[in-house]
Structure 1
Amino acid sequence: METRPDAVAGTGLLVAAIRARESVRDDRLFCDPFADKLAGEAGHRILDAAVANSGERTTLQIVVRTRFWDDALLEAASSCRQIVVVAAGMDARAYRLRWPAGTTVFELDQPSVMTAKDALLADDVPQCARVPIGVDLADDWPTALCSTGFDATTPTAWLIEGLLQYLDEHAVHRLFARIDAVSAPGSVLCYDVVGKSLLNAPSMAGLLKSMADNGAPWLFGTDDPAQLVPGWSATVTDVAEPGNRWGRWYAPVTPAGEPDVPRGYFVVASKPG
């Protein structure tokens, strides 16, 4: 089954709806005042269906990863004034985070997604220079990026959030190779990836079937996420660690050496000078 771009784009609405719901909690991990508008009725319908099918626990990874990447990107921005959000979808970080002066956020996604997002946020002002780029990641997106003012000789912070599981292994490695080719020393690459054991976990069966039925199957996972960026210095964090630290996870952290444990990973990698 091929992944339909419109189905994957629909996951962006789902993520926005989850962020909107999190933002009204008293114990919220973040506040995204743009998420409700970006999700729209369609996003909330998708979320209601997902929760009915698979339960609330399946939304927690998105909540935890949003906060984790908020913190990681702001830390990276202290030395990287270029930020690239790959497959940005309905992400509103350019509007809601307090970026250092002189920061530019480049957003890459399908042209139809960027057009829809720009229309929804037409009356809002970003907290940085924002450059939306409508391009398919299967095409020559590095050339499109460099044609809009991106400087490949300047350190860049990259974010690949909630994307890799929808790509096949060849596409994953091609994406990382392209990022490496236009990343100057000192660049930071942030990405999340699911473990292969998670893809096979019984608790995930309902969610994975729903995603596949909607044309967006999960295709890729690895339990050695650092190997995706050879030559970079990578720090790998089990999703359960910050999830437990923030009181928003459903199981304790399992020691890293224990086999066959369903895991997801956050990776922050830096390119040495």
Structure 2
Amino acid sequence: MTADVSKDHNVFEEVAKTARWTAAARARESRRGDRLFDDPLAELLAGPEGAELLTHFHPPHAAKEGNPFLPIRTRWFDEFLAGAVGPGHQVVGLGAGLDTRSFRLDWPENTVLFELDQPDLLSYKESQLDSSGAARRCECHRVPVNLAGDWTAALTGAGFDPARPTVWFAEGLLFYLPEELAAAVVRQAAGLSAPGSRFAADLIGTGIFRFPYLRSFLGKLEDAGSPWRFGTDDPRGFVENCGWRVDEVVEPGEPRANYGRWPRRAAPAGFRDLPRSFLVAASART
């Protein structure tokens, strides 16, 4: 499903407004005694605006705890990266936003991380983090790009080597893009991937756009200029059609995406009008 898009050139400027929201969610999780991860820089990056967005986007009964999927998603991506990245690998964060994994994860020797996102967002991130005194744990290059443009040239210009194994991750990105653009980004990543490369992304099902309980939330995203635009009920097929071999598709509530936090079972597979989220891990085709 693809929402109507009249000004695609504004997509990435709009998505930046949600970055502080997700940073605030990571900060809130980091304050929990039973936290699934620790992100000491998230509160700095979120700022007052991020904390306000947490209250704004969540209904009153969920304002304190928030969406349980967000910390589950972050933990799942952390574990994917820990298992996929080996010594000397490249890592590319597509739409990296205010991600802080270059500071908070233990990376193998000679890991090189490339963070791709819009220039203004990366500039804000750099100004905040560079003044924090925090030390990165791997070599990191911020690459300002518009993913609707020739981002692959900017990536290679920043030192990316297509001959080296690469681990790509697109966390909280693809459903903000028109379907054709989301597919193009995933396909281009596959085209730049040497044998041994991996890919991970989260996707949403089309039922999210039809579920009555989420209409208010989706309307708030629309009003903020950051609408969700694309969902698929076949995440495996979507990623494989973009040139990858899918290794795993999990939903929150399943054993591999639970961590004792999901309040119910995963949604039954036959109910297409329920809100569904998918975590997809894939490998380069040889």
TM-score range, shorter chain: over 0.9
Residue 170 of structure 1 corresponds to 180
Alignment counterpart, residue 12 of structure 2, candidates 5, 20, 25:
5
* Counterpart-to-counterpart distance in 2, 1:162 and 1:80: 26
Offset at 1:132?
A: 0.5
Residue 232 of structure 1 corresponds to 244
Are 1:245 and 2:252 counterparts? no
Residue 17 of structure 1 corresponds to 24
Offset at 1:51?
A: 2.5
* Counterpart-to-counterpart distance in 1, 2:272 and 2:88: 37
Offset at 1:255?
A: 4.0
Residue 55 of structure 2 corresponds to 48
Residue 190 of structure 1 corresponds to 200
Offset at 1:176?
A: 1.5
Residue 65 of structure 1 corresponds to 73
Are 1:77 and 2:90 counterparts? no
Are 1:26 and 2:33 counterparts? yes
Q: Which moved more, 1:249-258 or 1:262-271?
A: 249-258
Structure 2 counterpart of 1:261, one-letter code: L
Question: RMSD of aligned C-alpha atoms?
Answer: 1.9
Runs (5+) with no aligned partner, structure 2: none
Q: Which moved more, 1:93-102 or 1:71-80?
A: 71-80
Are 1:111 and 2:119 counterparts? yes
Are 1:121 and 2:129 counterparts? yes
Residue 43 of structure 2 corresponds to 36
For the 8 Å contact 1:80–1:187, the answer to whether it is kept is no
For the 8 Å contact 2:267–2:276, the answer to whether it is kept is no
Structure 1 counterpart of 2:119, one-letter code: P
Offset at 1:54?
A: 7.9
Partner secondary structure for residue 121 of structure 1: helix
Residue 281 of structure 2 corresponds to 268
Partner secondary structure for residue 68 of structure 2: helix
Q: Which moved more, 1:238-247 or 1:101-110?
A: 238-247
Partner secondary structure for residue 75 of structure 1: helix
For the 8 Å contact 2:23–2:98, the answer to whether it is kept is yes
* Counterpart-to-counterpart distance in 2, 1:54 and 1:79: 45
* Counterpart-to-counterpart distance in 1, 2:127 and 2:93: 19
For the 8 Å contact 1:232–1:269, the answer to whether it is kept is yes
For the 8 Å contact 2:87–2:110, the answer to whether it is kept is no
* Counterpart-to-counterpart distance in 2, 1:272 and 1:201: 36
Deviation string 1:11-33 (CA, Å, 9 cap, x unpaired) is 11000000000001011111001
Partner secondary structure for residue 99 of structure 1: coil
**TM-score normalised by L of structure 2:** 0.89
Offset at 1:258?
A: 4.8
Alignment counterpart, residue 154 of structure 1, candidates 164, 173, 195:
164
* Counterpart-to-counterpart distance in 2, 1:112 and 1:196: 31
* Counterpart-to-counterpart distance in 2, 1:43 and 1:118: 17
Offset at 1:63?
A: 1.2
**TM-score normalised by L of structure 1:** 0.93
For the 8 Å contact 2:236–2:280, the answer to whether it is kept is yes
Q: What percentage of residue pairs aligned between the two structures are identical? A: 39
